Structure 1
């Protein structure tokens, strides 16, 4: 009987100990399970946070890229000119020479006529102006320099002093055209004093009545410099200047005759014949009118 009770007691203790161990294991399992779930939740939270951060970074990068592209298109931001926004640039200006513009206007007014292709000016040519009278057969163009460029025949141009004029006159016959030109062949000047003008050219001086005329010929051109002796003027210096300029600029070749008349005091005139037509260029500057005449076409 005692042995039986002892066995029962031992068995009960064994079951009790086994139950306690099982409970401990269950608690450890539950604890480990809880830890595992917590770890998974934490990992999931971190993954979501990383994904969110990555998406935000991509959006930021895309935004910067879009902003850069927008700026380069000029719709926002600064453009190459430093203006905010896409400011409008001015239309290109017309940079053609002023004389080209004037000649185009004169050709529309007079038809296609002979005109100088050089204005003969150093400074101020950007403000070159012109007015004209007549038609394609008979015209005069007055060239001047103003404070600003104006349309051809603008009323304000009439108040400007011309620095040169170019004219064309048509005659009824070749003989009439030739007779209008003050041409001197040099015949009858053999006994007059000679003057060396350089470049193997010599002229003759005819003096009288308070005047001096120094004359010479170059091709079909008759050239003469007038000096007022009563005013102490002397023609040689200006004659040499003409010869030097004609070595540099070639005057139009006339069909028959031509003349150059120069005043020591400043007035100058070049005239040449083309069949029934006579052209002339006049002005106070010797070099200017020679340049303009040489460029006529």
Structure 2
């Protein structure tokens, strides 16, 4: 009995050991795994702290690189400073093209200056020492003027436009004048007389122009010329035969106008020439001499030329 009991005790102990063995092994394995996980967690924590530390050092380093630029901008501004370059490369009030163009132009040069621009008044103020005519732009247009002074000569061009501009506005470079006026000092009476180009021709067919005035008409090289004299003035009208231009009709209109209007008194000569075959502001010319000075008016219209000359002060 004792022997059997002892054998059973040994077998029971063996079974107990056998049953507990896996749990202990599992517990041991769990402990080891926990230890490994703990170690991994510690390593990860250390790595995170290390990364955080490196990030802080990087930020500190970045701050240390930016700070000198910031501190230098608070002192004297460098021409190569990024912020200054960016500002200067953007449109600003000081670099705006419109302001630059305004500064390079006369103050009222581009405004519709019907009430503020009076080119004829400007011309008279600029050349108060000269005799100047009064000019009116045709077709109700605004009168604009360009004037230039050369050696012993003043030239004036007249323009008819939709808006009035100040004198010598650069826009006039693209326009065509309808009339002109010039004053030239030739230094002697003889040279001034030669510049008038006075023409007297009593040959050809006599033509009654009215008011007791007789003209003389003749043809040459496809043209018809009509000449007559009024006081110290000689007048010539040319017409093209191919265009059917009749100088007599134009001459009679001129004679009729001059019966009521008075041309300047030349000293010594005056010449009026109308070329019906041409166009432009030199179609009709009125030229007269006062001692060594020669005055010249041109106009696109014959009667317009006479009106400008009559208004001469």
**Contact 2:144 2:159 survives alignment (8 Å):** yes
**Hey, what does 1:247 align to over in structure 2?**
259
The gaps in structure 1 that reach 5 residues or longer are: 1-93
Residue 285 (structure 2) pairs with residue 269 (structure 1): yes
Which of 218, 226, 230 aligns to 1:206? It is 218
Alpha-carbon distance in structure 2 between the residues aligned to 1:229 and 1:261 = 18
TM-score of the pair, normalised by structure 1: 0.61
**Contact 2:137 2:160 survives alignment (8 Å):** no
**Hey, what does 1:221 align to over in structure 2?**
233
RMSD: 2.3
**Contact 2:138 2:160 survives alignment (8 Å):** no
Alpha-carbon distance in structure 1 between the residues aligned to 2:200 and 2:273 = 14
Q: 1:178 to 1:97 in 2, by over 3 A?
A: farther
**Hey, what does 1:132 align to over in structure 2?**
147
Alpha-carbon distance in structure 1 between the residues aligned to 2:262 and 2:161 = 29
Residue 140 (structure 2) pairs with residue 113 (structure 1): no
Residue 180 (structure 2) pairs with residue 165 (structure 1): yes
**Contact 2:271 2:288 survives alignment (8 Å):** yes
Q: Cα deviations across residues 237-266 of structure 1 (Å, max 9, x unaligned)?
A: 111111112123211111100000011235
Alpha-carbon distance in structure 2 between the residues aligned to 1:144 and 1:95 = 15
Q: Report the secondary structure of 1:271's partner residue.
A: strand
Q: 1:201 to 1:97 in 2, by over 3 A?
A: farther
Q: 1:97 to 1:116 in 2, by over 3 A?
A: farther
Task: Report the alpha carbon displacement of residue 289 of structure 1 after superposing the two structures with TM.
Answer: 1.4
The count of corresponding residues between Structure 1 and Structure 2 is 197
Task: Report the alpha carbon displacement of residue 147 of structure 1 after superposing the two structures with TM.
Answer: 2.3
- Give structure 1 regions of 4+ aligned residues with deviation exceeding 3 angstroms: 94-98, 107-111
TM-score of the pair, normalised by structure 2: 0.58
Alpha-carbon distance in structure 1 between the residues aligned to 2:248 and 2:223 = 13
- Equivalent positions of 1:117-196 (< 5 A) are 117-119=134-136, 121=138, 123-124=140-141, 127-134=142-149, 137-186=152-201, 189=202, 192-196=204-208
Q: 1:177 to 1:153 in 2, by over 3 A?
A: same
Q: Cα deviations across residues 20-59 of structure 1 (Å, max 9, x unaligned)?
A: xxxxxxxxxxxxxxxxxxxxxxxxxxxxxxxxxxxxxxxx
**Contact 1:120 1:288 survives alignment (8 Å):** no
The gaps in structure 2 that reach 5 residues or longer are: 1-112
Q: 1:97 to 1:113 in 2, by over 3 A?
A: farther
Q: Report the secondary structure of 1:179's partner residue.
A: helix
Q: Report the secondary structure of 2:273's partner residue.
A: strand
Q: Report the secondary structure of 2:228's partner residue.
A: strand
**Hey, what does 2:305 align to over in structure 1?**
289
Alpha-carbon distance in structure 2 between the residues aligned to 1:117 and 1:253 = 17
